[in-house]
Amino acid sequence: MNQKLMLSVAVSTLFLPLLGQQIPIQSSQPVVAATSAKVAWVDMDQVIKKCDEGKRELGELQNYIDQKTSEGKTLSKESNDLQNQLEIQSFKLTDEARNDLEDQAEAKSLQLQRFQQDAQRQIDRLQTRIANRILRKAQPVIEKLAREKGLDGVLYMSQVAWADPNALITDLVVKAYNATYPVNVPAPRK
């Protein structure tokens, strides 16, 4: 016990002179001066929709969607007609004829479901291709624009609650994109 007390007094006397003094701490990380970064925001969904290439590609996609919608309506009508025929005539038909009509109605309904799923999958794939192509091509345009404007960064507005309207460069990106990648845009359909 005496040894513990003497050890504690010895340690205290060694470090007592250091109390109240500031000991510099060495940091392995460099000290960075606080500066504000100049950043801008770009809404890439709007770039895709507003640029000439995007308008053209999305117009072609809309034509495809219209075509598939028309085909889907035809299949839907055929399926509904078979269902109605089954409901109206089921009591008048023989068991064999009713079973045959039920099989036709079920097959048409399944064909319609598969058609809708396949069409939606294809539409989603085409939308993704359009977006990816334009995003890939827009990247160097955004970088060039950022350098010209002396920006430290450009952020996508995917989930921004608010941004200073003066920091939005979407329209500038669209203009620069159209200048870099000019395309012929078909006249709007009437």
Q: Are 177 and 138 in contact (CB under 8 A)?
A: yes
List the structure tokens of 81.
């007609």
Q: Are 40 and 169 in contact (CB under 8 A)?
A: yes
DSSP string, 21-67: -------SSPP-------EEEE-HHHHHHHSHHHHHHHHHHHHHHHH
Residues constituting the chain: 190
Residue 98 CA from chain centroid, whole number: 49
The dihedrals phi and psi of 153, each to the nearest 5 degrees, come to -170, 155
Q: Measured between alpha carbons, how far is 155 from 146 in angstroms, rounded to an integer?
A: 11
Of 129, 111, 121, the residue nearest 58 (C-alpha): 129
CB atoms within 10 A of CB 51: 26
Tell me the pLDDT tens digit for each residue of 113-146: 999 999 999 999 999 999 999 999 999 999 999 9
- Domain edges within the chain: 37-180
Q: Looking at residue 160, what is its pLDDT?
A: 80
Q: To the nearest whole percent, how much of the chain has pLDDT over 70?
A: 78
Query: 32: pLDDT confidence band, cut at 50, 70 and 90?
Result: low
- Using DSSP, state whether 106 is helix, strand or coil: helix
Q: To the nearest whole percent, how much of the chain has pLDDT over 90?
A: 67
Q: Please name the fold of domain 37-180.
A: Protein Binding, DinI Protein; Chain A (3.30.910)
The answer to whether residue 188 scores a pLDDT higher than 90 is no
